[in-house]
């Protein structure tokens, strides 16, 4: 287990200091409320910087702008060239800090995307991601089409970003790690109906990489949805390093150690699973078997993914949550 570095106060030469904002759950119905919430996020970027002069990156949860209502009104959707993203860029420049932000992104061809952005301290978008696995049947968002991108973040750390329900699929963490991610940010907006300790056991597979789970909004209610806070930082062996509480707008901070991730990836024998996954049984055969023995992967590539019990699945659209059955076919 690596130390949290007392939130970066005892900074290691190779460490990266990350803050997770336990944001008060907003209720946004109008453009004016969207503008006000944008300003609130900007103010919290400043709070994060004042909170810790060593902080390299501040992370906001999914739904930080729009709350948990699942509204798709075009009037409150965002775009990369819109005023909300411009405000985020300006805040990162003003406070000399990297930021990870959430927007519900306007999509002229269909439902909005649930998108995440990592912006550097010069105001440049370094990572742009659209949620691959919306939380169906509750969420109406268009399935993402940008893959799982990775960027070089502050102090040279390789960052991946996945969003909330994405973390239920271990393939997401593996894809990010395969592309070089050393720290995976998992932003989320989970309400009280969900298991309060779910992030302890999701996607911890000794990939290895470390995770910063900005996994839940504040414990307070927006009048409809209750959220519990409790974000956390996990080391690459699954150890929880720092946890948040239930206080609204709390910023929890941890020093992550990508150098230890790099060391483990190179020197581990036992449980170096990201290497062993593609080199099966290398003790018996030189270099290990490098085939693909997984039926579901072959079927998915052919567009033939089908479960043995597929015909018996009862919930296959959003009608249980009040959404009309879709008519469009996904084009990719």
So which residues are the catalytic ones? 62, 131, 164
Residue 76 near residue 66, CB atoms below 8 Å: yes
One DSSP character per residue, 171-239 reads HHHHHHHHTT-SEEEEE---BTTS-TTGGGTSS-S--S-EEEEE----SSB-SS-BB----EEE-TTS-
Count of residues for the chain? 332
Alpha-carbon span 329 to 193, nearest angstrom:
31
* Residue partners of 207: CB distance under 8 A and separation at least 6: 173, 174, 177, 236, 273, 274
Angle, vertex CA 239, rays to CA 236 and CA 243, nearest 5: 115
* Residue partners of 43: CB distance under 8 A and separation at least 6: none
Angle, vertex CA 298, rays to CA 287 and CA 307, nearest 5: 130
State yes or no: cis peptide before 204, omega within 30 of 0: no
Q: 3-state SS string over 257-280? A: CHHHHHHHHHHCCCCCHHHHCCCE
Residue 306 near residue 238, CB atoms below 8 Å: no
* Residue partners of 87: CB distance under 8 A and separation at least 6: 38, 39, 41, 42
Give the end-to-end CA distance of the chain in Å, rounded to a whole number: 41
């Amino acid at each position: 287990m690596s130390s949290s570095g007392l939130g970066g106060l005892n900074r290691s030469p190779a460490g990266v200091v990350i803050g997770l904002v336990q944001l008060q759950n907003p209720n946004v119905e109008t453009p004016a409320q969207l503008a006000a919430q944008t300003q609130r996020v900007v103010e919290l970027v400043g709070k994060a910087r004042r909170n810790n002069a060593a902080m390299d990156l501040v992370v906001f949860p999914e739904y930080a702008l729009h709350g948990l209502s699942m509204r798709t009104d075009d009037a409150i959707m965002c775009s990369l060239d819109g005023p909300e993203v411009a405000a985020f860029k300006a805040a990162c420049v003003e406070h000399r800090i990297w930021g990870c932000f959430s927007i519900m992104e306007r999509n002229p061809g269909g439902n909005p995307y649930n998108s995440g952005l990592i912006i550097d301290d010069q105001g440049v978008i370094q990572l742009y991601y659209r949620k691959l696995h919306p939380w169906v049947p509750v969420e109406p968002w268009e399935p993402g089409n940008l893959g799982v991108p990775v960027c070089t973040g502050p102090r040279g750390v390789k960052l991946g970003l996945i969003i909330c329900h994405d973390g239920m699929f271990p393939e997401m963490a593996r894809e990010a790690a395969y592309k070089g991610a050393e720290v995976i940010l998992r932003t989320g907006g989970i309400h009280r109906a969900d298991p309060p300790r779910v992030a302890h056991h999701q996607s911890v597979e000794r990939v290895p990489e470390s995770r910063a789970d900005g996994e839940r909004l504040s414990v307070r209610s927006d009048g409809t949805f209750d959220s519990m806070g409790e974000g956390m930082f996990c080391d690459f062996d699954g150890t929880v390093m720092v946890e948040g509480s239930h206080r609204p707008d709390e910023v929890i901070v941890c020093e992550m150690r990508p150098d230890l991730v790099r060391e483990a990836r190179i020197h581990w024998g036992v449980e170096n699973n990201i290497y062993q996954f593609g080199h099966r049984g290398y003790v018996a055969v030189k270099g290990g078997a490098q085939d693909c023995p997984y039926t579901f992967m072959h079927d998915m590539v052919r567009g033939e993914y089908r479960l043995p019990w597929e015909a018996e699945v009862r919930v296959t659209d959003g009608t249980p949550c009040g959404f009309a059955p879709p008519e469009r076919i996904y084009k990719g």
